[in-house]
Amino acid sequence: MDKIKMEIAGEISLSEDAGATMRKWREIFGMSQVELAKYLGITVSTISDYEGNRRKSPGTAVVRRFVNALFEIDKAKGGLITQKFAEKEKPVGDFFEVHEFARSISLKDFISLIKGRVMTNEDLVESKRIYGYTLIDSIKVILDMPFSYFQNLYGNVNERAFIFMGVSTGRSPFVVVRVSPSKPSAIVLHNMDPAKIDKLAVKISEKERIPMIITRMPVEEIKGALNKI
């Protein structure tokens, strides 16, 4: 876990908005400001001030204590998040790319950035927030990827968008998500013709309350727009 801790600490230290990045990681680990403050022996207002950038950017010592606290509290609660990080270290580059945002963004803003079109569950677009995206080679994942790699699609947190490339009807991505215990916040079908969307995919999308989005924006442009967040 030392490598993961260093990566998180480095992300916070190098972030242009250190407070937002600290908040993101606290939320990923599923803990409140009160819980974190109690463990660190500081006031809740101190945590709030750091996250709101009302204090100067935290130094190395503060960041180290913050990151260690996240893992120690998680360990005391059963280590579910820590286990996800252990699984994440499997080699998955041939099947998909995972990108985490420095801060959460609304699904509405995400859709705008990828020039997307909402096909289902449009009422959820305003309320959902996401922390990253996973770019997926649909054919390779469905035909070749070991099932044990599946949880790695979610990176650090489930609240993310799956962008499926190489889809023809959209059925397979939604069937896969339907049988999975974890669900993404949204599914994007890249370069998809709206007229060819499978009716079963639409039904699953509506039943699972996972917005279906389509975009024709080139993949490299999508990555260029999203990787700045």
How far is Cα of residue 17 from the mean position of the Cα atoms in its chain?
18
Total domains in the fold of the chain: 2
| Residue 95 scores a pLDDT above 90 | no
| Residue 168 scores a pLDDT above 80 | yes
Query: CA separation (Å) from 12 to 71, 81, 111, 190, 214?
Result: 15, 18, 26, 32, 33
User: For residue 148, what pLDDT band results from cuts at 50, 70 and 90?
Assistant: low
Closest Cα to residue 122, out of 206, 226, 182? 206
pTM of the model: 0.67
Region 147-169 average pLDDT: 88
| CA–CA separation, 95 and 112 (whole Å) | 26
Considering Cα of 177, then 178, then 182, then 184, what sign does the dihedral take?
positive
Same-domain status, 112 and 57: no
Q: pLDDT tens, 100-124?
A: 998 999 999 999 999 999 999 999 9
Percent of the chain exceeding pLDDT 90 equals 70
Return the CATH number at 216.
3.40.1390.20
Same-domain status, 78 and 114: no
* Residue 22 near residue 64 (C-beta atoms within 8 A): no
Region 38-54 average pLDDT: 94
Which range of residues forms the domain containing residue 68? 2-86
Percent composition of the chain: helix, strand, coil (DSSP 3-state, to 5):
50, 15, 30
Same-domain status, 82 and 140: no
Same-domain status, 165 and 212: yes
User: Which of 35, 69, 86 finishes a domain?
Assistant: 86
Name the maximum alpha-carbon separation found in the chain.
58
Backbone angles phi, psi at 190, to 5 degrees: -85, 135
* Residue 171 near residue 201 (C-beta atoms within 8 A): yes
Mean pLDDT taken over the chain: 91
Same-domain status, 144 and 60: no
| Residue 89 scores a pLDDT above 60 | no
Percent of the chain exceeding pLDDT 70 equals 97
The pLDDT score that the predictor gives to residue 224 is: 96
The pLDDT score that the predictor gives to residue 1 is: 64
SS (H, E, C) 77-113: CCCHHHHHHHHHCCCCCCCEEEEEEEEEEEHHHHHHH
The pLDDT score that the predictor gives to residue 66 is: 95
Region 175-182 average pLDDT: 87
Q: pLDDT tens, 210-226?
A: 999 999 999 999 999 99
CB atoms within 10 A of CB 98: 18
